[in-house]
Amino acid sequence: MASAARPVDVELLRRPNLPSADVRLPAVKDYEQVDDEIVATLGPQPGWFIALGIAILFLLIGASAWAYQIYTGLGVAGYNPPIMWGVYIVTFVFWVGIGHAGTLISAILYLFRAGFRTTIYRCAEAMTVFAVMTAGLFPILHLGRPWKFFWLIPYPNWRLIWPQMKSPLVWDVFAILTYLTVSTTFLYIGLIPDFAVLRDREKNPIRRQLFAQLSLGWRNSDREWRHFTRAYLFLAALSTPLVLSVHSVVSFDFAMSDVPGWHTTVFPPYFVAGAIYSGIGMVFTIIIPLRKWFNLKHYVTINDLDAAAKLALFTSLVVGVSYACEWFVAWYSGSPAEKQFFANRIWGQWWWASAVLYTCNMVLPLSLFSQWCRRNTTWLWILSIFINIGMWFERFVIVEPSLSHEFEPWQWATYVPTWVDYAILLGSFGWFSMWFLLFIKQMPVMALAEIKEIVQPRLKKPHEHGIDITGHHLPYDHDTPGEFE
Amino acid sequence: MRGVVAFFRELDATVDAVETLKKRPLGDFTVYTATPRHEIEHAADRGPSAVRRFTLVGGLLGVTFGYWIAIWISDYWPLVVGGKAIATWVPYTVFGFEVMVLIGALSTVAGLFANARIPRITTTVGYDARFSHGDYGIWIEPAPDKMQEAEQVLRDAGAVEVRVER
């Protein structure tokens, strides 16, 4: 990279970090420090190569299992009629859900002017794109003839037949493709000014040329910023309902059928809240090690994590209420099939999966009512793993118990995933991690331009009336205690 | 193209220079800043961005196309179910909405590109790598007889370096 990182001011790092409404990053002094410290994260690290190697190994395991499945047939997966939706559909919904937090953080919290998003949104956005890329593979993996996946896309074809536009599966194709396109666009547009920074610092002519192409000749002019900020605002405004719609549409895959446990109007908000909850969990899983390994604790402050933890707590409560609604409706509906199904889900055949789900998604997150837990990064990271596990099991509990316990008792069955299912599940984590690891070494993990916006600009003279040109009160009022840990 | 480029270390000095250039027009000017600053936007007073029109038109075209494609396909390849309409707007709102967002977002990007004049493939006179790092800059294209006056205005506002470029 063009220049080495500026030495970290150790004394400053040791002092309590006291971000406030006025000064969010007190340990960051100027724009140059932002560039130096964040661009320095692009340098090679041995741990990164090891992590990438592990990710690729997992990916190869998954790819091998898929090749075996294509060669042998879908029978090698754990499908057991009438249970024809298995781990692939569960994992598809899981990854789409993971993809939700990125756009929530980058778009919705942007519109709400939530300050804590600034330092974590780039990671969350990248996570969204790679999670949706991962999710998009699973409907294809689920097909007996995966090379025919494009039959779901409406296009003029020699058969002169078209998709069934009233099918939720076709809605899904539109929703996921739109989400992937808009999320990728949003990520790239935000990266353009940062590519310009990399271009201007880069000494290697090939990389410099590459960054010049990616930056589209960005010059940081007032004309460019004026249109950029508007475009960014509109992209955020368009992405906001998209976040809510995509998982609603995914939930229609279930809710539009009359299968017990699925045919319920609570599914869209329930799915959206669950998706945001799982996405925040994955953000914690990623950002907590990242801020440590990249020495960026003075950017992603404890206050930022605390605020994100409150969001996780809120969404876990919404998810908990949704579970309670399901139980209530099953009892109140008077439908024997629905009652039977829920009894089987909670006390019968699937009790163990329900126990994992409720423990991870309803019980453990209650710890976030404690400020100590919200500000303890070790606990947050451990909790995030439980959230990921719990949310995968939520989808498992939605899909498998319903299909295994429909209206006709003679149809009742069970479902046991095979090694192929597990290998492909592992491969999906390898695929996701590989892309994310490649991303963090090629592009800034934090938005340089947006972080500079919250850094005190250099001024010739303080503004009159004790308020400087940025609207900050002088002297700064450190009213929110915090620490680096 | 001949002009003057000035480098500023401080935001308020840059704003002072922009306000002076608005009061004493010496030619077209461009302000460079590493991050969007409202102070500069207000001082330069360029008016509202036209990107919003691209978003609106794109969104309207998208929602129209989304409904149309779903209705057209249903009519072209009807799947007849007793008591059910061949084409119905309720489920097709999913297509209307998704395509509205898709085309609206892509139109917004097109609007950004058209108005910000990117992608730009030529090196631009007046730009300096310091402008993406922390310094502020102003590029001004005065008439030949006003070149010195422009330099003086920029220095008086607090520019740490002023130079003529072509």
Q: Which CATH number belongs to the domain containing residue A171 in this structure?
A: 1.20.1630.10
> How far apart are alpha carbons A392 and A357 in whole angstroms?
8
Residues paired with residue B5 on neighbouring β-strands, in sequence order: B139, B163
Contact B134 A32 (CB under 8 A): yes
Does any CB of chain B come closer than 8 Å to the CB of residue A449?
yes
B9, B142 Cβ separation under 8 angstroms: no
Which residues fall within 8 angstroms of residue A70, CB to CB, at 6 or more apart? A146
> How far apart are alpha carbons A253 and A267 in whole angstroms?
10
Residues of B in contact with A160 (CB under 8 A): 77
Q: Is the pLDDT of residue A333 over 90?
A: no
Contact A219 B55 (CB under 8 A): no
Comparing CB atoms, the residue among A165, A220, A245 nearest residue B131 is A220
> How far apart are alpha carbons A186 and A178 in whole angstroms?
12
φ and ψ at B31, to 5 degrees?
-105, 135
Find the length of chain A.
485
Contact A458 B9 (CB under 8 A): yes
State the average pLDDT over residues A215-228: 93
Does residue A17 belong to any structural domain of this protein? Answer: no
> How far apart are alpha carbons B36 and B22 in whole angstroms?
19
Does residue A332 belong to any structural domain of this protein? Answer: yes
How far from each other are the two terminal CA atoms of chain B, in whole angstroms?
Answer: 6
Does residue A473 belong to any structural domain of this protein? Answer: no
Does any CB of chain B come closer than 8 Å to the CB of residue A221?
yes
φ and ψ at A182, to 5 degrees?
-70, -40
Contact B49 A196 (CB under 8 A): no
Look at residue A43 in the predicted model and tell me its pLDDT.
Answer: 86
Q: A91: closest CA among A72, A106, A78, A105?
A: A78
Q: Angle of helix A222-255 relative to helix B51-76, nearest 10 degrees?
A: 30
What is the side-by-side order of every strand in the sheet holding B136-142? B27-32, B136-142, B3-8, B161-165
Contact A166 B88 (CB under 8 A): yes
Domain span at residue A275?
Answer: 28-466
Q: Is the pLDDT of residue A181 over 50?
A: yes
Identify the three-state secondary structure at position A7. coil
Interface of A with B in 409-428 (CB under 8 A): none
H/E element, A202: none
Q: Is the pLDDT of residue A21 over 80?
A: no
CA distance A454 to chain B (A): 10
Residues of A in contact with B61 (CB under 8 A): none
Look at residue A482 in the predicted model and tell me its pLDDT.
Answer: 35
Give me the percent of chain A exceeding a pLDDT of 70.
90
Which residues fall within 8 angstroms of residue A321, CB to CB, at 6 or more apart? none
CA distance A161 to chain B (A): 6
> How far apart are alpha carbons A280 and A284 in whole angstroms?
6
State the average pLDDT over residues A361-387: 95
> How far apart are alpha carbons A217 and A267 in whole angstroms?
46
Q: What is the 3-state secondary structure (H, E, C) of chain B?
A: CCEEEEEECCHHHHHHHHHHHHHCCCEEEEEECCCCCHHHHHHHCCCCCCHHHHHHHHHHHHHHHHHHHHHHHHHHCCCCCCCCCCCCHHHHHHHHHHHHHHHHHHHHHHHHHHHHCCCCCCCCCCCCHHHHCCCEEEEEEECHHHHHHHHHHHHHHCCCEEEEEC
Contact B120 A217 (CB under 8 A): yes
Give me the percent of chain A exceeding a pLDDT of 90.
64
Residues of A in contact with B112 (CB under 8 A): 189, 227-228, 230-231
Contact A171 B34 (CB under 8 A): no
Q: Residue A20 — pLDDT band, cuts 50, 70, 90?
A: very low
**Cα A394 to Cα A274, A354, B59, B110, distances in angstroms:** 9, 8, 35, 40
Q: Is the pLDDT of residue A340 over 60?
A: yes
Does any CB of chain B come closer than 8 Å to the CB of residue A461?
yes
User: Is the alpha carbon torsion for A213, A43, B133, B106 positive or negative?
Assistant: positive
Q: Residue A23 — pLDDT band, cuts 50, 70, 90?
A: low
How many Cβ atoms are within 10 Å of B1's Cβ, its own excluded?
9
Which residue on chain A is closest to B110 by alpha carbon? A231
Look at residue A14 in the predicted model and tell me its pLDDT.
Answer: 40
Does residue A182 belong to any structural domain of this protein? Answer: yes
- Owner of token pair 């695929």: A431
Q: A42: closest CA among A211, A224, A223, A192?
A: A211
Does any CB of chain B come closer than 8 Å to the CB of residue A197?
yes
Look at residue A27 in the predicted model and tell me its pLDDT.
Answer: 81
Does any CB of chain B come closer than 8 Å to the CB of residue A447?
no
Which residues fall within 8 angstroms of residue A115, CB to CB, at 6 or more apart? A21, A24, A454
A23, A456 Cβ separation under 8 angstroms: yes
Provide the mean pLDDT of chain A. Answer: 87
Number of domains comprising chain A: 1
- Model-wide pTM > 0.95: no
B39, B18 Cβ separation under 8 angstroms: no
Q: Is the pLDDT of residue A176 over 80?
A: yes
Look at residue B70 in the predicted model and tell me its pLDDT.
Answer: 94
Q: Give me the torsion for CA of A444, A450, A454, A459, rounded to 10°.
A: 100
Look at residue A250 in the predicted model and tell me its pLDDT.
Answer: 92
Identify the three-state secondary structure at position A473. strand
Q: B59: closest CA among A402, A206, A237?
A: A237
Does any CB of chain A come closer than 8 Å to the CB of residue B37?
yes
Contact B37 A457 (CB under 8 A): yes
Which residues fall within 8 angstroms of residue A343, CB to CB, at 6 or more apart? none
Does any CB of chain A come closer than 8 Å to the CB of residue B93?
no
> How far apart are alpha carbons A188 and A252 in whole angstroms?
30
Does residue A14 belong to any structural domain of this protein? Answer: no
Instruction: Please identify every stretch of chain B with a pLDDT value under 70, giving residue numbers as ranges.
Output: 122-123
Q: Is the pLDDT of residue A433 over 70?
A: yes
> How far apart are alpha carbons A452 and B113 in whole angstroms?
23
> How far apart are alpha carbons A210 and A200 in whole angstroms?
12
Token output for A294: 């990249």
Does residue A155 belong to any structural domain of this protein? Answer: yes
Contact B99 A174 (CB under 8 A): yes
Look at residue A157 in the predicted model and tell me its pLDDT.
Answer: 80
> How far apart are alpha carbons A205 and A199 in whole angstroms?
10
List own/partner pairs for A265-270 with CB under 8 A and 24 or more apart.
A266/A322, A266/A325, A266/A326, A266/A329, A269/A318, A269/A322, A270/A319, A270/A322, A270/A325, A270/A326
State the average pLDDT over residues A193-199: 95
Q: Is the pLDDT of residue A1 over 50?
A: no
Where are the domains positioned within chain B?
3-46+124-165, 51-116
ipTM of the complex: 0.95
Does residue A311 belong to any structural domain of this protein? Answer: yes
CATH of B3-46+124-165 given 3.30.160, 1.10.8, 3.30.70, 3.30.420: 3.30.70
Cα A161 from chain centroid (whole Å): 36
User: Is the alpha carbon torsion for A235, A238, A241, A244 positive or negative?
Assistant: negative
How many Cβ atoms are within 10 Å of A413's Cβ, its own excluded?
15
> How far apart are alpha carbons A477 and A432 in whole angstroms?
42
Look at residue A481 in the predicted model and tell me its pLDDT.
Answer: 35
Residues of B in contact with A227 (CB under 8 A): 49-51, 111-112, 115-116
Residues of A in contact with B95 (CB under 8 A): 165, 171, 174
Find the length of chain B.
166
Does any CB of chain A come closer than 8 Å to the CB of residue B98?
yes
Q: Is the pLDDT of residue A473 over 90?
A: no
List own/partner pairs for A324-329 with CB under 8 A and 24 or more apart.
A325/A266, A325/A270, A326/A261, A326/A264, A326/A266, A326/A270, A329/A264, A329/A266
Look at residue A463 in the predicted model and tell me its pLDDT.
Answer: 54
Beta-carbon pairs below 8 A across chains A and B: 195
Q: Is the pLDDT of residue A414 over 50?
A: yes
Q: What is the CA radius of gyration of chain A?
A: 24
Q: A289: closest CA among A385, A403, A398?
A: A385
Does residue A22 belong to any structural domain of this protein? Answer: no
**How does strand B161-165 pair with strand B136-142?**
unpaired
Which residue on chain A is closest to B73 by alpha carbon? A162
Q: Is the pLDDT of residue A18 over 80?
A: no
Contact A458 B10 (CB under 8 A): yes
**Chain segment A72-83, per-residue pLDDT in tens:** 999 999 898 889
**Chain segment A439-471, per-residue pLDDT in tens:** 999 999 999 999 998 887 888 776 554 444 444
Does any CB of chain A come closer than 8 Å to the CB of residue B166?
no
Look at residue B123 in the predicted model and tell me its pLDDT.
Answer: 60
Q: Is the pLDDT of residue A204 over 80?
A: yes
> How far apart are alpha carbons A103 and A121 in whole angstroms?
8
**Chain segment A118-143, per-residue pLDDT in tens:** 888 999 999 999 999 999 999 999 98
Residues of B in contact with A459 (CB under 8 A): 10-12
